[in-house]
A and B are shown apart, each in its own frame.
Chain A
Amino acid sequence: MNASSAKPAAPAPALRRLPAVLLLVATLATAAAYLRATLELPYPELADPLGPKIFPILVSGGLFLCALLMVVDLWRTRDGRVPVLLEGNQPFDLRSTLMVAGITAWTALYFFVFERAGFVLSTAVFLAGLMSVFNAGHRVANLCTAAGFTIGAWVLFTRVLSVRLPQGILPF
């Protein structure tokens, strides 16, 4: 067997540089959108001589400067060297990305019902759901922790610290 065939295939140089290119594109898009939004701001009747646009214009200029630095970095390393932009990067993988998307959706749902259902109900269900996935196989411990934490936090914040939390559909 060929020795090189036993090693995991390294990503092609173009693919390896993809995160840096995407960061550059995102930076350019943000800078352009921000500049456009700034230029569309109406000029107020009462303002200082410089007005409210000057500082955002300078900031969008700074964002374009960042994009320029990224272009220079990518251009300098076009021979296959690793751009400084990629130093310290962690690879994205499908499983992790899906997991983060799932947690984001579950958390967004939690926030959606936070006021409607109330802190106690929404938090207990949110925690029990997330714990059942990430601490699987400990159903009783998960349920007890979710309920215990929720009630403890409710008592601490609303009764002891007088912080207002949504009551929702529960009578307390």
Chain B
Amino acid sequence: MDAFDHLLHGFSVAAQPLNLAYVFLGCLLGTVIGVLPGIGPAAAIALLLPITYGIEPTSSLIMLCGIYYGAMYGGSTTSILINTPGESSSVMTALDGYAMARSGRAGAALAISAIASFVAGTISVVLLSLLAVPLAGFALKFGPAEYFTLMLFAMTSVAALTGPSLAKGLLSMFLGLMFATIGIDLQSGQQRFTFDLPELQDGIGFIVVVVGLFAIAEVFSGLEDLLKGRSEIIRMSGSLWLTREEWRRSVMPILRGTGIGFFKGVLPGAGATIATILSYSVERMLSREKAKFGTGMIEGVAGPEAANNASTGGAMVPLLTLGVPGSGSTAVLLAAFIMYGLQPGPLLFEKRPDLVWGLIASMYIGNLVLLVLNLPLVGVFVRLLYIPIGLLLPMVVSISAIGIFAVNGNIFELYLALGFGVIGYVFRKLAVPVAPLVLSLVLGGMMEQSFRQAMTISGADPGVFVRSPICISLLAASVLALSIPFVAPLLRRLVAQPAAA
């Protein structure tokens, strides 16, 4: 069976009326949550997870993926209308999108954002469909040592690329690994760092951490912003349709943004964020009107929006084929898979092709749903921005409480989430990225098992991690990622010196 046959089979799963309803619901809820200022895809998935508890895994994951890309899309609406990106990957959209809105072209900015997202999202899912089978086949060559080095690469890339300080990125990563070691050790049955609390025997649940770090911390930050005064909300104005000139100027940025976004999404690290920055820089570099960027250039919205949404398809490639996520949001998706007793990776393609290909097919449908939802209904979503923050954020705390309590019915986990909320708030103040923590918390257990299995197989010889070409390549890539924060400023200085001379 080739990719096309698999995909046809996937469409027969995704097009079932119930699954179509879940795609629609996921996209709708994701967009609604994504529109709310400050709440990004990771928090959206974690907050809405309780809704999926009673649903069959395939339908549930179809809905969660809809929430993921719906929230990715929804973030751009807040960027354009209130200059408050829902997450870092929407920051570049705000530069020209908000300027367009201020000059009465909010409708055009939102329209190009929806169209660019649709085109990029669809192309990236086509690429995902083509790459899935060969990559899943390649992943069958992976043993414990290869998996350990792969996870090390994913974590170090995210830690090195999510902020200006390598120390802070690594701190976040090691804290995540530290939290992952809490609970019963799977190989020896020994309790570790549980302080004799039975609630900690199963470890710290990812929902507790994600809801705390993203949702509750956002409540603290949002209410603090409220105390200090918030930015002006631009009323939606101007036609939702683009002029012929705007169409002409948007086509190439969308295609270039799609390529950049997909490629960056496949690689672990700050995929979507770096993709949007790269796309914006490329568009500015290629433009004859460089000075006008930041004043409402449609290329500055079309390119980054395409890159942002193409990276979601790209990010699904390592998640589905290797079982290793490359970002905080996909780490939460992986945790959702595990919660349903499913381990993404090559074996899932063999054991549950209906689920994997149904999920991939649902993304084609989801992109279409997002376009249909967002062009005519953007005015409705925008109204969410007019809900007073003082009403909205307290409700987020209650939804968080429901989401956490619904998992185990455990009050202790609510206190833990509150603690992680405070940690998340302090991290924001100190500009410590939280994505490495979430990623390493989710991957930490698997990483430790792979490490110990590889060492046991090799008779405790650490040379096992440099024996295969895959391990060597991944270790070299990890070293390269860790060296970027040191090398990039040197390169910038070298480039700047001749220019100054």
Interface of A toward B, CB cutoff 8 Å: 19, 23, 27, 30, 34, 37, 41-42, 44, 46-52, 54-56, 59-60, 62-63, 65-66, 69-70, 73, 84-85, 87-92, 95-96, 99-100, 103-104, 107-108, 110-112, 114-115, 119, 123, 126-127, 130-131, 133-136, 138, 141-142, 145, 149-150, 153, 157, 161-166
The listed residue (B53, B394, B411, B432) touching A163 by CB distance below 8 A is B53
Whether B401 is near chain A, meaning CB under 8 Å from some CB there, is yes
Q: How far is the CA of A85 from the CA of B165 in the complex (A)?
A: 6
Contact of B480 with A by CB under 8 A: no
Judge whether B185 is part of the interface by a CB distance below 8 angstroms. yes
B398 close to A126 (CB less than 8 A):
yes
- Given the complex, which residues of A lie within 8 Å of B401, measured CB to CB? 110-111, 114, 123
In the complex, which residues of chain B have a beta carbon less than 8 angstroms from the beta carbon of A46? 188-189
B439 to chain A, nearest CB (A): 15
Whole-angstrom distance between the Cβ of B28 and the nearest chain A Cβ: 15
For the complex, give the distance between the alpha carbons of A115 and B409 in Å: 9
CB distance from A165 to the nearest CB of B (A): 7
The answer to whether B364 has its CB under 8 Å from any CB of chain A is no
- Distance A37 CA – B129 CA, assembled complex (angstroms): 47
Interface positions of B from 289 to 339, Cβ below 8 Å from A: none
Q: Which residues of B contact A142 (CB under 8 A)?
A: 391
| Majority SS at the chain B contact face | helix
A56 CA / B398 CA spacing, docked (Å): 35
CB <8 Å contact, A111 and B415: yes
Once the chains bind, are B418 and A104 in contact (CB under 8 Å)?
yes
| B448 beta carbon closer than 8 Å to chain A | yes
Chain A residue nearest to B445 in the complex (CB): A55
Q: A41-B190, A145-B395 are in contact. List 15 more A-B contacts (CB 8 A).
A: A30-B178, A44-B188, A50-B456, A54-B452, A62-B170, A62-B174, A73-B165, A85-B165, A85-B167, A87-B163, A100-B422, A110-B397, A110-B401, A114-B405, A123-B398
Interfacial residues of chain B within 179-206, with CB under 8 A of chain A in the complex: 181, 185, 187-190, 192-193
List the 7 closest pairs (A to B, CB-CB), nearest first. A135-B390, A88-B431, A134-B390, A47-B188, A69-B167, A130-B394, A52-B185
State how many angstroms separate the Cβ of B416 from the closest Cβ of chain A: 10
Question: Is A153 within 8 A of B398, CB to CB?
Answer: yes
Q: List 27 A-B contacts (CB under 8 A).
A: A19-B430, A27-B171, A44-B188, A47-B187, A48-B452, A49-B456, A49-B460, A50-B460, A55-B448, A63-B171, A63-B178, A66-B174, A69-B166, A73-B167, A88-B164, A90-B429, A100-B422, A103-B223, A111-B415, A115-B411, A127-B398, A130-B397, A136-B390, A157-B402, A161-B50, A163-B50, A166-B405
Distance of A36 Cα from B451 Cα, bound (Å) = 22
Q: Are B406 and A114 in contact (CB under 8 A)?
A: no
Please indicate the chain A residues that have their CB under 8 angstroms from the CB of B219 in the complex. Answer: 103
Any chain A CB within 8 A of the CB of B388? yes
Q: Are B391 and A135 in contact (CB under 8 A)?
A: yes
- Closest chain-B Cβ to A129's Cβ sits at a distance in Å of 8
Contact A96 to B224, CB < 8 A, known contacts A50-B456, A69-B166: yes
A111–B418 CB distance below 8 A: yes
CB neighbours (8 Å) of B21 from chain A are none
